[in-house]
Amino acid sequence: MATYSLANERLRALEDIEREIGAILQNAGTVILELSKEKTNERLLDRQAAAFTASVQHVEAELSAQIRYLTQPPCAGTASQSGKK
């Protein structure tokens, strides 16, 4: 049972990452749209750029954690190593 809850937790974390990537794309779109204007709103650009950078750093950290988890060898004595099901 614990394996299923851990797997569900990992899936939820990946879904959160996916949502954050969507927010990153929205921030980038807002910045590009603002830059295309003749008179840009500097404060909006600064806020969106800061949000973009923070989100990218967060996604990078979360994806790194997911990759580290997936590359860990299974613990000794688990059902998959001992042949038990």
Residue 51 belongs to domain spanning: 1-58
Does the residue 50 lie in any domain? yes
Does the residue 35 lie in any domain? yes
Res 77: pLDDT: 53
Does the residue 65 lie in any domain? no
Does the residue 78 lie in any domain? no
Helices 42-71 and 2-35, packing angle to 10 deg: 150
Contact 35, 45 (CB under 8 A): yes
Residue 70: its H or E element: helix 42-71
Does the residue 69 lie in any domain? no
Does the residue 64 lie in any domain? no
pLDDT tens track for 54-83:
999 999 999 999 999 889 887 755 555 444
Q: How many domains does the chain have?
A: 1
